[in-house]
Amino acid sequence: MTQLYATYPSLRDRHVLISGGASGIGASMVRAFAAQASRVSFLDIDRQGGEALVRELSGVSAHTPSFLPCDVTDITALRSAIETAARTAPVAVLVNNAANDSRHRVEDTTVALWDATMAVNLRHYFFAAQAVIPGMRALRGGSIINFGSISWMNKQPGLPAYTAAKAAVQGLTRTLAREVGRDGIRVNTVVPGWVMTERQLALWVDAEGERQMDISQCLPGRLQPADLARMVLFLAADDSRMCTAQDFIVDAGWT
């Protein structure tokens, strides 16, 4: 069956800020919003990957994306990058995507590893939202989209600090939605299943992983970064105007 995907007129010229946009799901979202003629700014610690993505999209879309190199665990640098991005236009959509799911055993988890995991998977989500909310209030609306994970729902072993952070993301989404809802700002969580990014394929997808997906997913096939990007487009667009404080799971029916 031929698959046809939506175009959202409300996303044209809308300023979208994406963290972790240089690769994987983040890069797919940069491409998807650029194709909708949005103004895209994206942050990433990977300077080479970010610059390559800008070159790829330069002249292809209505607005060439803007790349701001940034370590999101450095909150001062994060605030500065967001302030720079907002000079071009107020940020109407924030996608908190940057994360790191490196494996770690309970017995090997140190205080330093725990704190670093929270910094890259949870802390910057709050401070990025804090930085864009005043501008969204001035716009009288906006959309904040946080990335969660099915890992904690499925009791996945081997990454306890990561799963704790991702469970907390959904709590953060709900309380922020209540805090800013009267300002017309929507806050939701997108919860991916096992997405076939370059990182996952290189590090963790093996024959046993393939078997697990075949058994656990209701739908056949493999989740691709673009499948998550299309859900994010919907949550960023006016079509989802009454959706907030919700978890939108995209996992082929695994959970």
- Rounded-to-integer distance, Cα 166 and Cα 147, Å: 8
- Helices 111-118 + 160-180 axis angle, to 10: 40
| Residues involved in catalysis | 162
Torsions phi, psi for 235 (to 5 deg): -70, -25
Smallest CA-to-CA distance from 217 within 200, 192, 248 is with 192
Instruction: Show the DSSP H helices in the chain as ranges.
Output: 24-35, 47-57, 75-86, 111-118, 124-139, 160-180, 198-203, 207-216, 225-236
Answer whether 247's CB lies under 8 Å from 145's CB. Answer: no
